[in-house]
């Protein structure tokens, strides 16, 4: 009865490197959401995906950030050429359908040096 | 822009007392609301949800009240325990942007023994 899984849990990158964050949704869930949380703040929506489709990316920065949810395998949030301002906790959630309960993973804490 | 916000950033209660955490929202089109609990270093944990066709919903030791007239949401925790200490977030789903949850900034609940 595994929940949402994210890896790595902690990721350290130097400025200019790439960060790849992975999310495996709960069994039976085909909807995946990515959120970013800065220290002492709430979660900010980034992107909503279904299998092989991006449904809503209104919260994604226009440059350097991309997300995918392939037919097979986990969802990937990719950040190219990271900057210090990208340091945050990135959470993935999954649900069984639109407007259904979103269950969150433990997050990936990205630190950019 | 429209947002979800919390009235108080911190709340301190005595163990055994009841806790009330409040949330204001401004998007009249929202029709699904969720309360999450987030402990330090962990992802948000679903507590309870309510849809806009209801004004009250009860769970185990928790009750959510929704007042659509004044766009107000509250979470009541009965007989608060030390394990309830965490940050509590309310979130709303916009029915025109199904899937995207907008989070408030959170209220930190501290339970004193």
* Per-residue model confidence (pLDDT) at position B98: 60
* Per-residue model confidence (pLDDT) at position B6: 47
pLDDT digits (tens, 9 = 90+) for B53-103: 999 999 999 999 999 999 999 999 999 999 999 999 999 987 655 678 889
Q: How far is A4 from chain B (nearest CA, A)?
A: 10
Contact A101, A4 (CB under 8 A): no
Q: How far is A54 from chain B (nearest CA, A)?
A: 12
* Per-residue model confidence (pLDDT) at position B94: 76
Nearest by CB to residue B103, choosing from A43, A55, A98, is A43
* Per-residue model confidence (pLDDT) at position A58: 92
Q: What is the mean pLDDT of each run of 10 residues along chain A (113 residues)?
A: 90 98 95 91 92 92 95 96 96 87 94 97
Q: How many CB atoms lie within 10 A of CB A113?
A: 10
Q: Using CA atoms, how far apart are residues A4 and A21, in angstroms rounded to an integer?
A: 13
User: DSSP code of A60?
Assistant: S
Residue B3 has pLDDT above 50, yes or no: no
Q: Does B107 touch chain A (CB under 8 A)?
A: no
Residue B1 has pLDDT above 80, yes or no: no
pLDDT digits (tens, 9 = 90+) for B7-61: 458 999 999 999 999 999 888 888 889 999 999 989 999 999 999 999 999 999 9
Q: Using CA atoms, how far apart are residues A35 and A100, in angstroms rounded to an integer?
A: 17
Q: Does B106 touch chain A (CB under 8 A)?
A: yes
Window 49-78 of B, Cβ < 8 Å to A: 49
Query: Chain A interface, mutation test: which of B43, B94, B104, most A Cβ atoms within 10 Å?
Result: B43
User: CA nearest B6 in A: which residue?
Assistant: A42
Residue B2 has pLDDT above 50, yes or no: no
Name every residue whose Cβ is closer than 8 Å to that of residue B8 and which is 6 or more positions away in sequence: B21, B22, B107
Q: How far is A103 from chain B (nearest CA, A)?
A: 7
Binned at pLDDT 50, 70 and 90, residue B4 comes out as low
* Per-residue model confidence (pLDDT) at position B96: 52
Query: Chain B interface, mutation test: which of A2, A4, A35, A42, most B Cβ atoms within 10 Å?
Result: A42
Q: How far is B22 from chain A (nearest CA, A)?
A: 15
DSSP state string for chain B: ---EE-S-SEEEEETTS-EEEEEEE--TTEEEEEEEEE-TTS--EEEEEEETT-SEEE-SSEEEEEETTTTEEEEEESS--GGG-EEEEEEEEETTSTT-EEE---EEEEEE-
């Amino acid at each position: 009865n595994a929940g949402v899984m994210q890896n790595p849990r902690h990721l350290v990158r130097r400025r200019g490197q790439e960060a790849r964050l992975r999310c495996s949704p709960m069994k039976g869930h085909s909807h995946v959401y990515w959120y970013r949380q800065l220290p002492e703040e709430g979660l900010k929506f980034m992107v909503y995906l279904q299998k092989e489709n991006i449904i809503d990316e209104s919260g994604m920065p226009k440059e350097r950030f991309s997300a995918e949810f392939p037919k097979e395998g986990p969802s990937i949030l990719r950040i190219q050429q990271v900057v210090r301002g990208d340091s945050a906790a990135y959470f993935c959630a999954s649900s069984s359908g639109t407007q259904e309960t979103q269950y969150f993973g433990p997050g990936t804490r990205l630190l950019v040096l | 822009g429209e947002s979800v916000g919390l009235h108080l950033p911190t709340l301190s209660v005595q163990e055994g007392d009841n806790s009330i955490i409040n949330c204001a929202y401004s998007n009249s089109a929202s029709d699904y609301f969720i309360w999450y609990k987030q402990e330090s270093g962990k992802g948000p944990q679903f507590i309870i949800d309510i849809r806009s066709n209801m004004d009250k919903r009860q769970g185990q030791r928790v009750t959510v009240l929704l007042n659509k007239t004044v766009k107000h949401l509250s979470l009541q925790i009965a007989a608060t325990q030390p394990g309830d200490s965490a940050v509590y977030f309310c979130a709303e789903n916009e029915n025109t942007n199904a899937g995207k949850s907008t989070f408030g900034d959170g209220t930190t609940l501290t339970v004193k023994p």
